[in-house]
Amino acid sequence: MPWTSESGNSYNLCLLDTNAISEILKNPLVEGKGFIKCFPPSMHVPCFTIYNLIELRRSDDVYKKFLSFFSIYPIFLIKTQSMILKEEIKAYDSENEISVLFNAFTPLGKNDSYNLEEFIDSLFLNSELSKLESTWRSFENETLKSWISNKGNFEVTSKDPNSIDAEKYIEQAGLQTLIGMEMDWCKDKIGHKIVPDINKFPSIKIMLYSLYYRLYDQSWKVTPGEVTDILITSVVPYVDVYITEKFQANIASKIKKKVYNLEKVSIKRIRDIR
C-alpha cells in the first residue's frame, strides 16, 4: 500500500526481513548496490520492524554497518505484530484504513547531530520497547518450545507440507490463535453470536501459514530466530514489496490467493537484488 507524503509524492513500502538486511550489509557492492538500483529511494521507502532492530542490535559490528548503510535516506519503522492486530480489530466493523507505520527517520532531521543511531536509541527509551528487547531471547526460546510441543496436536495427512493440510491447519488454529491474543474482544463477539472471521486478520493468517510450512517440513532447521522471522511476516500484506530469503519467499508465493491483499505484494528473493 503506497505511502503518500504531505507534498503529494507516493512511495512504495519495501519491507526487508533480517536475512535480506544481513546480505546487503555483508555485500554492499553486490546486494547493497543491487537493492538501491532495484528500489531507488525516489520511489521506495525501506521498511523495518522493531524485531529487525532487536536482532541487529545484538551484534555491534552488524549494527554499525546497518547504521552506516541505511542512514543516508529516509526509512520507516513498522508497528509490532500486536499493534497491527489492534489496527485490524479497529477496522473489523468499519471502513477504517489500517496503518502499519510506527515511526519514520529522515537524514534531514531536527539538527545536524540528529542521526539514525540517535533516532533508534530514542525509540528504545520507550519502556515497552526496552522490555521487549531485554526479554527477546527468552521469548524466542519459549515460543519455539511451545510450537514444538503443540506440533502433535494437528494431524497431518501427508509427511510433506501441502495446501490441503495448510488450509485445515488455518481452520483449526486461526480462531484459537485470535482468542489467545485478543480474548476479551473475541468473548464479546461470540457473546453476540458472532464468530470472528479470521480472513479479516491477514496478519494472523500469514503467520500461521508461515508456521505450518515450517513446522511440518522435515528439513526445517529449528532455530529461535525463526520466531522473529514469522512475526515479521505479519506486516507483509500491508506493504508493496517484500524482500526475503528463498524459503519464506516460496511460502508467500504459495499462499498469495489465501491472504488478503497478498496478491498485490511483490515478493522478491535475495537473488533478485544481486
pLDDT single digits (tens) 156-204: 999 999 999 999 999 999 999 999 999 999 999 999 999 999 999 999 9
The pLDDT of residue 110 is above 90: no
C-alpha to C-alpha distance for 55 and 50, rounded to whole angstroms: 9
| pLDDT tens string 22-46 | 999 999 999 999 999 999 988 999 9
Q: pTM for the whole thing?
A: 0.92
Nearest to 47 by CA among 101, 124, 97: 101
The pLDDT of residue 6 is above 80: no
Strands 3-4 and 10-16: antiparallel
pLDDT of residue 112: 47
| Mean pLDDT score of the chain | 92
**In percent, how much of the chain has pLDDT > 70?**
96
Check: CB of residue 175 under 8 Å from CB of residue 205: no
C-alpha to C-alpha distance for 35 and 28, rounded to whole angstroms: 9
Nearest to 270 by CA among 248, 239, 240: 248
The pLDDT of residue 13 is above 80: yes
C-alpha to C-alpha distance for 106 and 72, rounded to whole angstroms: 8
Say whether 14 sits in a helix, a strand or coil. Answer: strand
In the predicted model, what is the mean pLDDT of residues 6-16? 84
pLDDT of residue 5: 67
Alpha helix (H) residue ranges in the chain = 18-26, 33-38, 50-56, 60-70, 81-91, 116-123, 127-134, 136-150, 163-181, 183-191, 202-215, 225-232, 246-254
